């Protein structure tokens, strides 16, 4: 088949690479325009654009799939559209333009976590497993019939960034198999079953850690918002980024027992912070206006009266 691929961030790259290595022809790659990145605001192509250039594939850069983008894609005469985290909606008439329509690789077991941040919300919610689904794109958000679902256990300590890397690689294989099945006429999609849940894009406010919750909820939120939009708290009215945190067992918390929520306990080689249950260790932090550092090093410089996180 003739494929057009739409994607933008790094988790879409394994799917593009896997399809490029297969028997089908990728006639065009649609991605978001170059963006200003880093402290020096350097104009940088998306990870998908960079991968497409490396693979020698033609690229269409479009901020949204409007009439101009639709005309460009129509000229490519695709049999199937494949989308992985493009960052924009596919509407009619583009939705029906390819002979087989569009399929989407989505990082949840649909209908769970429809939306822009499925892995992040799944981890925050404490789900026991992560998943990737390949489904037929329809006008309603992430509501089309499902061709295949891949599931994996949600490993302890895995951040959203790490989970996305795993699912991107594993999901690419599932996606390629579905594309082959569509080409061969053997692919079967079934309607989604059950009540949907939703996963809107996270904001910086979603990264704030609530120390009055139990340790499991605090760590689940930290993992779910890492690396983006990032976990944070405040101390003395200033923001403190939490770059790495991990659990502490009751038996490892020291002779003084459980700390009050938000209370810091600097020790020789670590710093603990209290929650509603067992403490959490702050492994790496970044104070406002400073670079990243070990949590223990940061805590040693605190005055005794400012040893409470808010």
pLDDT of residue 252: 53
Give tens-digit pLDDT for 71-100: 999 999 999 999 999 988 999 999 999 999
pLDDT exceeds 80 at position 305: no
pLDDT at site 310: 86
Residue reference for tokens 């409007």:
66
* The model scores a pTM over 0.85: yes
CA dist 138 to 1, 66, 96, 147, Å?
21, 17, 9, 13
Each residue's pLDDT tens digit, 221-235: 999 999 999 999 999
pLDDT tens-digit readout, 137-196: 999 999 999 999 999 999 889 999 999 999 999 999 999 999 999 999 999 999 999 999
Q: What is the pLDDT of residue 250?
A: 55
- The predicted model gives 262-284 an average pLDDT of 93
Tens digit of each residue's pLDDT (9 = 90 or more) over 26-50 = 999 999 998 888 777 888 999 999 9
Share of the chain above pLDDT 90, in %: 85
Q: According to the model, what pLDDT value does residue 257 have? A: 58
Query: How far is residue 164's CA from residue 237's CA, in Å, rounded to a whole number?
Result: 33
Residues pairing with 294 in the sheet: 284
pLDDT higher than threshold 60 for residue 247: yes
**Cis before residue 53, ω within 30 degrees of 0?**
no
Q: Where are the domains of the chain?
A: 2-184, 204-306
CATH of span 204-306 = 3.10.25.10
Structure confidence by residue, pLDDT tens digits, 47-78: 999 999 999 999 999 999 999 999 999 999 99
Mean pLDDT of the chain: 94
Residue 292's pLDDT is 96
CATH class assigned to 2-184: alpha beta
pLDDT at 254 over 60: no
Residue 304's pLDDT band, with cuts at 50, 70 and 90, is confident
Q: What pLDDT score was predicted for residue 255?
A: 45
Q: How confident is the model at residue 251 (pLDDT cuts 50, 70, 90)?
A: low
């Amino acid at each position: 088949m003739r494929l057009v691929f739409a994607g933008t961030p790094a988790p879409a790259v394994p799917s593009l690479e896997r399809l490029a290595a297969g028997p089908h022809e990728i006639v065009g790659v649609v991605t978001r325009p170059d963006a200003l990145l880093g402290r020096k605001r350097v104009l940088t192509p998306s990870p998908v654009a960079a991968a497409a250039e490396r693979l020698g594939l033609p690229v269409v850069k479009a901020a949204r799939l409007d009439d101009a983008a639709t005309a460009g894609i129509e000229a490519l005469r695709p049999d199937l559209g494949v989308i992985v985290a493009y960052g924009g909606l596919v509407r009619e008439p583009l939705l029906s333009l390819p002979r087989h329509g569009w399929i989407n690789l989505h990082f949840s077991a649909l209908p769970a976590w429809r939306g822009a941040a499925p892995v992040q919300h799944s981890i925050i919610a404490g789900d026991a497993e992560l998943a990737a689904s390949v489904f037929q794109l329809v006008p309603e958000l992430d509501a089309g019939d499902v061709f295949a679902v891949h599931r994996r256990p949600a490993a302890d300590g895995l951040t959203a960034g790490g989970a996305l890397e795993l699912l991107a690689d594993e999901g690419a294989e599932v996606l390629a198999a579905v594309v082959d099945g569509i080409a061969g006429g053997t692919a079967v999609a079934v309607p989604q079953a059950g009540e949907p849940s939703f996963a809107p894009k996270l904001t910086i406010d979603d990264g704030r850690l609530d120390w009055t919750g139990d340790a499991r909820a605090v760590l689940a939120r930290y993992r779910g918002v890492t690396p983006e939009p990032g976990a944070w708290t405040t101390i003395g009215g200033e923001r403190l980024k939490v770059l790495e945190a991990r659990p502490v067992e009751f038996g490892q918390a020291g002779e003084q027992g459980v700390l009050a929520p938000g209370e810091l306990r600097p020790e020789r080689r670590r710093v603990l912070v209290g929650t509603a249950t067992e403490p959490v260790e702050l492994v790496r932090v970044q104070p406002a206006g400073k670079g990243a550092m070990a949590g223990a090093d940061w805590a040693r410089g605190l005055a005794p009266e400012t040893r409470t996180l808010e």
